[in-house]
Amino acid sequence: MKMVCVTWIIVLLATTVFAGDRESGWEKAYPAAEKGMTRYVLHLPDQDDEGAMKVELIVGKTVETDGVNHYFFGGSIQEKTVEGWGYPRYNVKAGELASTMMGVPPDQPKVNKFVTVAGGPHLVRYNSRLPIVVYAPEGFEVRYRFWKADMETKPVPTE
């Protein structure tokens, strides 16, 4: 009976230590967000062929638009290296809202739309061993989607 209890205690302690280890490691490497910024952290699930995958980062915010013009925020997503760790992090610089200048009919209803920071798409390497950490200005949202390469390759014809 004592052996069973000791075994369960060891299992519980190991589970607690290793479950928290993944998060404590990344939290040490990636600092908290500075004032006026928000830190977004995306933990990726393991995949069979991560080399054939990319993650697209999409940053923007939902704003009221006229429903006719195309809107975007000036800015960019920049990859930086976390000093002392060598891990990538992504910093978002967002500018003012801009749009095309098409005339809008007077009875056109307003539409809430997710408007992105220009300069996309921003594809990053898929790596389930490290989180993708993005620092964006407060009020902005970070979205993502996966891209996967087709396993079939095709030759390019010569001319």
| Tens digit of each residue's pLDDT (9 = 90 or more) over 9-26 | 443 433 333 344 444 578
pLDDT band for position 120 (50/70/90)?
A: confident
Contacts of 80 (CB under 8 A, 6+ apart): 88, 89, 90, 91
Contacts of 137 (CB under 8 A, 6+ apart): 36, 37, 38, 92, 94
Average model confidence (pLDDT) across the chain: 86
Read off the pLDDT of each residue in 114-135 and give the average, rounded to a whole number. Answer: 93
The CATH architecture to which 31-148 belongs is: Sandwich (2.60)
Are 115 and 65 within 8 A, CB to CB?
Answer: yes
Query: Is pLDDT larger for residue 27 or for residue 52?
Result: 52
Judge if pTM exceeds 0.75: yes
Residues 45-99: tens digit of each pLDDT = 999 999 999 999 999 999 999 999 999 999 999 999 999 999 999 999 999 999 9
- Rounded to whole angstroms, the Cα distance separating 29 from 130 reads 11
Please name which of 127, 139, 144, 136 lies closest in space to residue 26, comparing C-alpha atoms: 127
Residue 151's pLDDT is 86
Contacts of 132 (CB under 8 A, 6+ apart): 41, 42, 44, 55, 57, 90, 124, 144
Give percent of the chain above pLDDT 70.
Answer: 85
Residue boundaries of the structural domains of the chain: 1-30, 31-148
Between the CA of residue 90 and those of 43, 54, 58, 133, what are the distances in Å?
14, 15, 12, 6
Strand partners, 141: 60
Question: What token pair was written down for 51?
Answer: 């080399």
Are 22 and 46 within 8 A, CB to CB?
Answer: no
For 130, which DSSP code?
S
